[in-house]
Structure 1
Amino acid sequence: MRFYFGVVFTSLLFFLIGNISEAQTGTLSGIVVDELTGAAVDLAILQIEETNVFAESADEGSFEMEVPAKVSLQLRVSRIGYNSLIKSLPEFEIGENRTVVIYLVPVDADLEVIVRSGRIEEVTMIRERAEELRMIPSVSGNFESLLSGIALGTYGGTGGELSSQYIVRGGNYDENLVYVNDFEIYRPQLISTSQQEGLSFPNINLIRDISFSSGGFLPRYGDKMSSVLDIRYKVPTEFRLGLEASMLGGGIHMEGSTWMGDHGQNKLRYLAGFRYKTTRYLLGTLDVTGEYSPDFYDFQAYVTYDFNPSLQLGLIGNYNRSIYTFIPEERTTASGLVDFALQLSSVFEGSELDDFENFMGGASLTWVPERDENPLYLKFLTSAFQSDENETTDILGFYRLAQIDTDIGSDNLGEEIAILGTGTQHKYKRNFLTLRVMNLKHRGGIEFNQLGGENRSSSNFVEWGTGYKREYFNDWINEWERLDSAGYSIPYDGNDVTLFSVLKTENSEYSNRFDGFVQNTYTLVDHGSREWQIAGGVRFNYWDLNNELVISPRLSTSLKPLDWARDMSFRLSAGFYAQPPFYRELRRPDGTLNFDLKAQQSFHLVGGFTWDFGESTGTRRKYRWITELYYKNLWNLVSYELDNVKIQYSGENDATGYVFGIDTRLNGEFVPGAESWINLSILSAREKLDGITHLKRELGEPEAQKVSNVPRPSDQLVTVSIFFQDYLPHNENFKMHLNLEFGTGLPFGLRDNNRVFRNTYRYPPYHRVDIGFSYLLWDQKNTDSRPNSIFRSTRRVWASLEVFNLMQVQNEASKTWVKTIFQTQYAIPNYLTSRRINLRFQIDI
């Protein structure tokens, strides 16, 4: 039923396109620009007075409209944040095409409010256009996998290239906020391996731009400890259709707008996208051979309707399903050193079937009344999210662990010379979770402008918001593992057959959350001298399940000298950040829930600068260098173990910690017209478990030494990410896209014995190179020279050849622990994907 609804809904959107043309007309086109900066101005409304002829400037400021001929015209141009303009147009001849450039003057306040989103640019946020990122080769196909290249202090963690989960400045995946047009986005909770992960919510083909903060963000954002990803979907001005196909799946997306109403003053805009992904081609490179059947689907739509220039309704909907079926057959994995190497050989019986089904729907109403001064916006949002998650596994593995000959001169090189253990491992899961979240939210803001003289102006932008969430979860968990070594069950007591681990629980709970914030952004501009901004406020959160009220004050300031030869700005942020527990944090390892669990808390101190340098021309932007230093103090932490992408929390506020580091990013057009990014991060993330005396044994030392703290599971000393673009000389149609990632190893400890000697080992460094070569098969500009091309009805057609894991590096996702009857444990690596070649086609209509 849901499938047919999606088909019908998509079909209806295709037929919403309507254009009214008149016989006695001319064509007016051009671009709207900021008179002070020369930057393109989007979302400007252009109207021929006393007619129903309207247009809206696109992202690049361009517009086109049919106007009456043989009469004098008055063109009105308006845009929030700019003074309105009325321009007289001489009479058009019938069929005449005329191009103009329209300059808009900003109002005194330098803060810009985008009417339809109620959004203010913040000094703590990094903003990027999504169009720049569409060609980056990505294994997962998810937008989040690109963040390590553009966001400060962000990296992928142990899930590697298959996962869309990311770590920011020593946090974990659950510490990140994601918004799409002010709607909060949720994720499945039971996923334990990156192979199970499907398509995340953000669809890069629908995204206009993104803002990202790695810490120190203002109170207007929610209650998490690490980061904010704020995504804005496109504001379409005309019909567009896109198709994409590759060896990993494909998709279709469309966008458009149409004037409606009796006088053509009401505008309907729509975005819709369908995606399909399968990773069976990639999973065929893993050590475990068998039948992989992953199928992932996503359909979403976003529609807005302008009742008038001041009132807009927004509707968003999403259906997402991930089905992962796996029937393992056998495995052979070798690892070790030059003088000591192990080989694990296994054969399997059984299968795994996982099904994650998510629904999300929301509505927003935004009102921005027309006011001569003190712009105001009010926004009301409601949304609902439901996740139905099923994990079913019943796999029996028969294994043999052996030492292999590493002597180069030996006749038995690579063969088994000693059997260290044989046995059976039986994993069983029947895990089911239903999660529902209902949201009601209000946000508003008002701006007060002041003139302090001919060369001085200031403004205050006051924002507020309140929210209510109703949460429900119902889980039924039944999983166990049996280990048999040399015919004896582990653990062995001589009398009973004991399972190695058992988890059985059934929980059902409703809860209510209330939150809110108020903040003010004060901006002072001394023209020709400086631009100074200070923003501060407070946020509160109350949860009735543990009856905890958390207050979080935050402050941020920035300074931009206007009389310097260098184009630089400086910023400093400080504040308290609390993260009340969600479903996963509540669950102890034994399955019981801790309703007394308190919010994890942290204090952020972040300082940095931005320097724009180099020549800026019409075809080339300046280089941008961003650097931030930060310190985070952490308390009331809920400690956890990290295994692939599964986070197993302790369910107790049992740790304290800290994180400090430095992030730096350089981006620009090293090759004109091709943006590139270079990111470098260095950090230290440490923790201490309450009531535990941590020990560490140095190599070669017989006695262990006390240590005051230990690495957090996300302690990754150095990460480097490079995305570089280039093209052939004299032929910009042939481009190269290189994506390089490097990260030092994450820590881990012994299975089921990782408290005193905690996280004493590290994975090998993660390093990977993906490269793509793309060729522009067709461009609309070539219509005159190639009128008979089969692509003549399209705008652009790209063909790409991508090579994933170019260097064929064996990166590790996790460890398989093999335990003998004598309680000796051996850690065998579970490797990520190897080299694969992908063909991709993109068609824009």
Structure 2
Amino acid sequence: MKPNFFSLLILLILISISSSAQTATLKGVILNENNIPIQGANISYNDSGTQSDKNGVYQLSIPANQEITIHISHISLKNVQFVINLEENQEYELNPVLKTDVEQIGEVIISGRERKIVEGITTLDPETIRTTPSANAGVEGLLKSLPGVSSNNELSTQYSVRGGNYDENLVYVNEIEVYRPFLIRSGQQEGLSFVNTDMVRNVDFSAGGFQAKYGDKLSSVLDITYKRPTRLGATADLSLLGGSVSAEGISKNKKLAAIVGVRYRDNSLLVDAKNTETNFQPRFADVQTYLSYNFSSKFELGFLSNLALNTYDYEPLTEQVNFGTLQTVQALTVRYDGQEKDRYETYFGALKGTYRANDNLTLKLIASGYHTQEQEHYDIFAAYALGTVNTDIGSENLGEVEFSEGIGSQLTHARNDLDALIYNLEHKGTYVADQHQFDWGIKYTSEDIRDRLQEYEIIDSAGFSIRPPVLDFVNDQPYTPFASPIVPFTSVRATNSTKIDRISGYAQYSIRSNIKENEIWANIGVRAHNWNIYGNTVDSSDSQIVFSPRAQVAVKPNWKSDMIFRLSGGVYHQPPFYRELRDSLGVVRPDVKAQQSIHIVLGNDYSFSMWKRPFKLTTELYYKKLTDVNPYTIENVRIRYRARNNAEAYAQGVDLRLNGEFVPGTESWVSFGYLKTEENIDKRGYIARPTDQRLKIGVLFQDYVPSIPSLKMYLNMVYQTGVPGGSPSYADPYNFQTRLRDYRRADLGISYVVVDQNKRLRQGHFLNKFRELYLGFEIYNIFDNQNTITNTFVRDAASRRQFAIPNYLTPRVFNVRLGMKF
């Protein structure tokens, strides 16, 4: 089977096909000044065109990846003309308002991608996100193929960017900041990404040097825009891991538009393939709604909501992990008793009002609320044995443990409960005058967090209870008896009631102009953030405030080569959130300062043609200097902060991405990233940070068979060098700088399009009722690489040694998918 499979894979990758015309879609609703739909308006380009129907709705297919001049006209209304350049398969919604005079307006250039390029923003195609195979399907699965974005865990939607940790990334949906659960503690225990790809219209991502209008985080911004439907429709995507369905529609008067998405996912297929035999049922479900109502041509009200329920019933049974060298293979065998029951419920709702006072001024008011109730309850007893493995190839007992050198047991207990309520009220404004743009905003946030943390760990080896290695106690067991009372190896007990009030705001100015024949764009702005921490169990702190000036400049020289040069940077602060205030013992420290980072990013975009097809090479050099750093450790994907600003750090590197039509009509890319990030704790010298991912190579490749264009392939590959493997409890990280093995993963998806807009079956066929219908299969980790997320440190009192046992991730897994649109 393997030779046939790899032959097919190589064949698909090496396919070379002839070019064909690719299209994009322009659609929307045409209205007059009284917000009444216009019937019979002409929408045309060259010799092609269409007319709006009785509801003012139109849809027009246009050539992709080239500038097209669109004309919109009506016999009694003002004509509109603009230039648009869309990507292949992109859908762009434009709802023009035609005025009641007959003057021809000046030409308008619509090129959203060009504007984002000069701002250093990467735009991802939502359709590519939906079709690209990934064990954790969604936006984050595609982000991990970009340079500068790292993750060594396919079971988690969390990611680090340019040396930052998982808490340093901003996520917005329709300009509304969204939050993640607090108690996430392992890659197996993480639910769905907040972003529902069935509802997405646009995805923008910035890996650093972003504008002042974005919030107070150190690393990145993921800016999502949900679509406003223009027609009645539905989608469904089903697989062995779960499924999603969505429905959308618009009222007859085009004022009310709604889209609802429901998702369900069961990761049992993935975790059952791991080397731990368990009864594990990780189940995630959520419902999202986005409603928008146009009260008039000037005022629109939007409503975004999300209800998510994640449950985990975990009962480990047995496990065997082989490790060591070829000459000396050792094994850790474990038998478990007990179980873990976790539950996360999150509720999110937001209202956004947009008032377009005139063509120049836009005002927005956003109110949102986030409520999460989370619990982690577990009691797990593990009896383990360390032994040597039979490596005699001719032996009947090959691979079995021959002799146990040390035995022991471990009991872990937790009763962690958290209830958090967060409110936001924000105003934003934009004023545009010719080539000038002013943006401003102010935001109030109230956070009320109630937390109970109760964890302990007891370790026993050869009948001796291992005590924590505190400095005033020398543990010489089992050679010297110790008569003191038995204490847990680790014990954390805390109850906190913490409230945080925040006021933040920004102001920025942008200009687009020319210097001689060279185009230039510049942005300058500043953010301010003030916060105060208090509560029943917390000593009130003095109010703290930080200022973050930022600037960007981009130049497009008048050269034959199509190039854009960018320089961006500034000061970025991350005022502490609750998790950053709580130290490893559960104590909330209100005097923790905001971490500070100085960004400098130099970028270049070079657009060119190769094989008569468009390509673009993006290069960015960056340097980040961090002060007042709050050191942390990572246990799987759980972050534990020291809640002290006792370190400084830096991150430096280079990111390159070549994207274009390696195969005509499809977008693929190859990305490369080099990163070095180190920290200096208490002035002891620089060591690697937990996210020090030195080398990263990512590939996204799309292809299809020339003679059967409906048969498509998607290949998502990532190679990353290993990150530091962490350290055991109470250990000094300066003594544990060994790294995990390199992370190598390739996910393959092959699908067959039965029906779409360009492929219809014979007249009257029942499958023509679908707008789109495809089926396919996916193979995750096709080369079956043994990747690791972290180490488990096993202590043996008999030999007085400590072993780093790797925790392996998922092996090769097969999945089947069925997708449809109505």
TM-score (norm 1): 0.84
Mapped to 2, the partners of 1:508 and 1:57 lie a distance apart of: 62
Correspondence 1:578 to 2:579 = no
Structure 1 CA distance for aligned equivalents of residues 625 and 33 of structure 2: 58
Partner Cα distance (1:590, 1:56) in 2: 68
Aligned equivalent of 2:635: 643
Residue 675 of structure 1 and its aligned partner are, at CA, apart by 1.1
The one of 380, 383, 394 aligned to 2:365: 380
Which residue number corresponds to residue 496 of structure 2?
Answer: 507
1:143 positional shift: 2.0
| Greater mean deviation of Cα atoms: 362-371 or 489-498 | 489-498
For residues 119-198 of structure 1, the aligned pairs below 5 Å read 123-149=119-145, 151-157=146-152, 160-198=153-191
Deviation at 1:820, TM superposition (A): 1.4
- Provide the C-alpha distance between the structure 1 equivalents of 2:304 and 2:618, rounded to a whole number of angstroms: 34
Q: Give distance in 1, aligned partners of 2:112 and 2:702.
A: 32
1:281 is aligned to 2:269? yes
* Cα displacement string for residues 604-657 of structure 1 (whole angstroms, at most 9, x for unaligned residues): 00001011111799xx6x211111000000010110111211111111111101
How far apart in 1 are the matches of 2:725 and 2:621? Answer: 26
Instruction: Supply the distance in 1 between the matched residues of 2:255 and 2:113 (Cα, whole angstroms).
Output: 20
Residue 152 of structure 1 deviates from its aligned partner by 3.6
Preserved contact between residue 595 and residue 628 of structure 2 (Cα < 8 Å):
yes
* 1:553 and 2:545 are equivalent in the alignment: no
Offset at residue 782 of structure 1 (A): 4.4
- Relative to 1, partners in 2 of residues 1:56 and 1:634: Cα closer, same or farther, differing over 3 Å? farther
Q: Distance in 1 between matches of 2:101 and 2:250?
A: 27
Letter in 1 for 2:345: E
Within a 5 Å distance, the mapping from 1:435-454 to structure 2 comes to 435-449=420-434
Tell whether the 8 Å contact from 2:551 to 2:568 is kept in structure 1 after alignment.
Answer: yes
Change (3 A) 1:85 1:475: closer
- Tell me which amino acid in the other structure corresponds to 2:156: S
2:82 and 2:107 in contact (8 A); partners too = no
Aligned match of 1:342: 330
Q: Structure 1: which amino acid aligns with 2:246?
A: H
Deviation at 1:121, TM superposition (A): 7.8
* 1:74 is the counterpart of 2:70: no
The Cα shift of 1:46 comes to 4.7
Percent of matched pairs sharing the same residue? 36
Q: Which amino acid aligns with 2:666?
A: A
Name stretches of at least 5 consecutive residues in structure 2 with no aligned partner: 1-22, 57-73, 85-95, 468-476, 534-540
Partner of 1:294: 282
* Superposed CA offset, 1:588-610 (max 9, x none): 11111111100000000000101
Give runs of aligned pairs for residues 149-548 of structure 1, distance below 5 A: 149=145, 151-157=146-152, 160-260=153-253, 267-371=255-359, 375-406=360-391, 413-449=398-434, 459-491=435-467, 493-525=482-514, 529-545=517-533, 546=541, 547-548=543-544
Distance 1:63 1:285, change over 3 A: farther
Instruction: Specify whether residues 524 and 246 from structure 1 end up closer, same or farther in structure 2 by C-alpha distance, changes over 3 A only.
Output: same
Gaps of 5+ in 1: 1-37, 90-102, 261-265, 450-458, 694-707
How do residues 593-608 of structure 1 correspond to structure 2 at under 5 angstroms?
Answer: 593-608=588-603
Q: Which amino acid aligns with 1:202?
A: V
The CA distance in 2 between the partners of 1:478 and 1:525, in whole Å, is 62
Q: 1:731 aligns with which of 708, 712, 726?
A: 708
Shift of 1:477: 1.1
Give the stretch that moved more between structures: 498-507 or 122-131.
Answer: 122-131
Residue by residue, what CA displacement relative to the aligned partner does 1:534-583 show, whole Å, maximum 9, x if unpaired?
1011100001124110000001000012x311111000012000001111
Q: Does 1:717 align with 2:712?
A: no
User: How many residue pairs are counted as aligned between the two chains?
Assistant: 746
Number of the residue aligned with 2:658: 666
Aligned residue identity for 2:344: F
Query: Conserved in 2, the CA contact under 8 Å of 1:555 and 1:573?
Result: yes
The answer (yes or no) to whether the contact 2:529–2:545 under 8 Å persists in 1 is yes
What is the rounded CA distance, in whole Å, between the counterparts of 2:521 and 2:568 in structure 1?
12
Q: Is the 2:130–2:138 Cα contact (8 Å) retained in structure 1?
A: no
Residue of structure 1 in register with 2:621 after alignment:
629
| Rounded Cα–Cα distance in structure 1 between residues aligned with 2:235 and 2:42 | 21
CA distance change for structure 1 residues 213 and 817 in 2, over 3 Å: closer, same or farther?
same
2:785 corresponds in structure 1 to: 809
Q: Note the C-alpha offset of 1:132.
A: 2.5
Alignment correspondent of 2:52: 65
Flag the 1:648–1:44 CA change in 2: closer, same or farther, 3 A. Answer: same
Contact 2:147 2:697 in 1 (8 A): no
Residue 258 (structure 1) shift = 2.4
C-alpha distance after superposition, 1:648-703 (max 9, x if no partner): 11111111010100001111111111111211100100101015x3xxxxxxxxxx
Once the two structures are TM-superposed, the CA of residue 62 in structure 1 deviates from its matched residue by 8.6
Contact kept? 1:712, 1:759, Cα under 8 Å: no
| Deviation at residue 480 of structure 1 after TM alignment | 0.8
Given candidates 741, 751, 754, the residue that maps to 1:777 is 754
Report the counterpart of residue 452 of structure 1 in structure 2.
Answer: none
Query: Is the Cα–Cα contact under 8 Å of residues 45 and 57 in structure 1 kept in the other structure?
Result: no
Query: CA distance change for structure 1 residues 84 and 388 in 2, over 3 Å: closer, same or farther?
Result: closer
Q: CA separation in 2, counterparts of 1:271 and 1:242?
A: 11
Structure 1 position 424, deviation (Å): 1.2
Once the 2 structures are TM-superposed, how far is the Cα of residue 269 of structure 1 from its aligned partner? Answer: 1.4
The structure-2 alpha-carbon separation of the partners of 1:377 and 1:819, relative to structure 1 and needing over 3 Å to count, comes to: same
Secondary structure at 2:280 match in 1: strand
